[in-house]
Amino acid sequence: MDPTTLALYALCLLALAGGAGVIALRNPVHAAISLLFSMLALGGAYAMLQAHLLAALQILIYAGAIVILIVYVIMLLDQGREAGSPIYELGVAVGVPLALVLTIIAAPAFLGAEAGPDPLITGAEDCTNCESMAVKVKKPDGSEKAVSGCEDHVDTDGDGFTDCNDTDCADNTLCYGTVRAVGVTLLGPFVLPFEVASVLLLAGIAGSILLTARRPKKYADTLAAPAIQPAPGPTLQPGGRGGDA
């Protein structure tokens, strides 16, 4: 087994371990850190799978934004260690063995396939298979052409392969999983989802602001309010304001 495959297995197992930590750790901060760990491991796994842009985006978005946001909110709400509840214990007691059993039962379906060609090609071979990894590019004159990873098929670095490491490939190659390749696809056939995603992001921004904004005080209230008023404690009625601004 070559190192890339080994690394892929290891990273996937680490991701699983992180996931287990999320659901098992009582302290929410610990759970968040475990999630971070899992995200990083997944990013590495994407990298092993030649999804270079996605690996970068995984780190950026998930590990660098989403988990941070979650940690912020945990800090903001100052939740302590989650108390154990009977159903939690019951869930663990029942669910873990059940899951193990199910996995053992289901695993042969997943694991038994040694036949057939290995669909995941790793290592330095991807660009040698540029023919089958062809990307369709629209040329300026309107015709389509399947561009292979290396347009010139010239082995410039002498490693015996015509792959992305060849210098003339490096300029105008659309190697699998690179920014350029994904970008061409994104801004080509998938430009509509791209634009809609931006609208979605706008909606998200507006929504999160609206949801958490406090109502501004009316001027009349400020006049009627006494100079000194006790800070209202946290109320427990629905619709009551907990905490103070």
Partner 1 sequence: MPLEHLLLFSFVLFSLGCAGVVLRKNLLVMLMSVELMLNAVNLAFVGVARMIGGHDAHIMVMMIYVVAAVEVAIGMAIVVNMFRQKDTIDVNSFDAMRG
Binding flag, residue 16, partner 1 (CB under 8 A): yes
Question: Which CB atom, from 61 or from 124, has the smaller least distance to partner 1?
Answer: 61
Say if residues 22 and 38 touch (Cβ distance below 8 Å). yes
Interface of this chain with partner 1, residues 179 to 238, rule: CB under 8 A: 181-182, 185-186, 190, 193, 197, 200-201, 203-205, 207-209, 211-212, 234, 236, 238
Say if residues 141 and 148 touch (Cβ distance below 8 Å). no
User: At closest approach, how far in Å is the CB of 101 from partner 1?
Assistant: 12
Those residues whose C-beta lies under 8 Å from the C-beta of residue 194, and which sit 6 or more positions away, are 186, 187
CA 223 to chain centre: 51
Say if residues 144 and 137 touch (Cβ distance below 8 Å). yes
Binding flag, residue 75, partner 1 (CB under 8 A): no
Interface of this chain with partner 1, residues 93 to 132, rule: CB under 8 A: 95, 99, 103, 106-107, 109-114, 116, 118-122, 132
User: At closest approach, how far in Å is the CB of 140 from partner 1?
Assistant: 21
Binding flag, residue 40, partner 1 (CB under 8 A): no
| Burial letters 28-48, b for 16+ CB under 10 A, else e | beebbbbbbbbbbbbbbbbbb
Binding flag, residue 69, partner 1 (CB under 8 A): yes
CA distances from residue 221 to 86, 195, 239 in whole angstroms, order as listed? 47, 44, 19
User: At closest approach, how far in Å is the CB of 156 from partner 1?
Assistant: 25
- Report the alpha-carbon distance of residue 193 to residue 62 in Å, rounded: 20
User: At closest approach, how far in Å is the CB of 169 from partner 1?
Assistant: 17
Q: x/- string (CB under 8 A) for partner 1, residues 136-175?
A: ----------------------------------------
Say if residues 47 and 7 touch (Cβ distance below 8 Å). no
User: At closest approach, how far in Å is the CB of 231 from partner 1?
Assistant: 15
